[in-house]
Structure formats: C-alpha cells, structure tokens
Copies of this chain bind each other. A is one copy, B any other.
Amino acid sequence: MRADAVRNRERIVTNAVRLFAERGPDVQMCEIAAAAGLGVGTLYRHFPDRQALALEIGVSALRAMTEFAGAAREREDSAWGELHAIVRHCATLPLALAKSLSELVPEEAGLAELERSVDDLLADLVERAQKEGTLRKDVPPREVVRLVSVVVCRPGARADDYLTVVMLDGLRAD
C-alpha cells in the first residue's frame, strides 16, 4: 500500500471518529470526506460503504478498549484501581462511540459480539472488585457494567466530572 494511501486512510478514520463523536451517527459521507480533505470517491475506495466505515471504527475502538483493560490489569494493583483507570480512559472516547455506531452495522458484522466480549471483560473485572471487597456486592456485575456504560457514554463525559465521581461513590462497598 502506498504511503499516501495509508495517510489518507488514517485521515478518514480520524475525521470520521471525530465527526461521529461530535454530531452523532447521521453525518454525511461527503462531509467526512471533506473533513479529511479528500473527495468522496477516495473514501469509498477505502471503505466500500458507510457500514464498513462504522464497523472499522467500532471494532478498533473496542479493540483499543480490550488492550487498555489488559494493560491496566498489569499496571494497577487492585480491581478497583483498574476500574478507575478504565472509566477515566473511556471518558476520553471510544466506548461511547462504538455504542453509537452499533446501530449502523448489521447484526452479522459481529460488532455486537465484540461489544459483548468487552462487556464480559468488564463484568469479570467488576466481579474481582466485589471479591476484593472494594465494590458493593448487592448489584450483579452485569448491571454495574451497564451503569458504567451509561455514565461513561453520555456525550461530553469527562473522567473527573461529578457524574463519574458520584457513580463511583455509589459503587464503592459500604
């Protein structure tokens, strides 16, 4: 693949991510292309259709999540710490985006499956936090994951805002 083709593809993805995040899933293809400083045709050369673009973005965001979670596990020395790190990181972007895009890709594409695997991973983390006694035990892990998702995926979420803090306080054991 030629160097400039690679650069173009990256520009498309970067700008698509930004626009999808800023303005929701209805952004027009030609606007994404324009934001990347390219013609629509070039966009379509890289992604056969709108779904493919959404899929690519969703998948890479979720993969990034998985990787980040793995790294956090190495770095942090408590499940609660991992959770904090992840929440802080998510608020920077990717999970919210992936959710907002999932309405654009069909079931078969497997994005939902990937989402589920990220949820599994988080549920597992929550369970560990419950076991280590830092997270309240009266809420099923899945539900904690949903709560975290909701709070973290709201548009404009930031790691240190009151909402996140209150949520974490609500989750802490005791």
By a CB distance below 8 angstroms, the chain B residues around A163 are 143, 146-147, 150
A35 close to chain B: CB less than 8 A: no
Tell me, in angstroms, the Cα distance from A140 to B85 when the chains sit together: 24
Which stretch (A11-19, A51-59, A67-75, A165-173) binds chain B? A165-173
- Tell me the number of copies of this protein: 4
A123 close to chain B: CB less than 8 A: no
Using CB atoms, name the residue of chain B closest to A140.
B162
Give the number of residues in A that approach B within 8 Å (Cβ atoms).
23
A26 close to chain B: CB less than 8 A: yes
Contact check, B171 vs A147: say whether CB atoms are below 8 A apart.
Answer: no
Tell me, in angstroms, the Cα distance from A147 to B162 when the chains sit together: 8
In the assembled complex, the CB of A127 is this many whole angstroms from the nearest CB of chain B, namely 15
Interface readout for A78-99 with B: 1 if CB under 8 Å, 0 if not? 0000000000000000000000
By a CB distance below 8 angstroms, the chain B residues around A169 are 136, 170
Contact check, B150 vs A154: say whether CB atoms are below 8 A apart.
Answer: yes
Tell me, in angstroms, the Cα distance from A66 to B52 when the chains sit together: 44
Contact check, A139 vs B162: say whether CB atoms are below 8 A apart.
Answer: yes
In the assembled complex, the CB of A107 is this many whole angstroms from the nearest CB of chain B, namely 16
By a CB distance below 8 angstroms, the chain B residues around A143 are 161-163, 166
Contacts A150-B151, A150-B154, A154-B150; is A166 near B170 (CB within 8 Å)? yes
Interchain residue pairs A-B with the least CB separation, the first 5: A170-B170, A143-B162, A166-B170, A147-B163, A150-B154
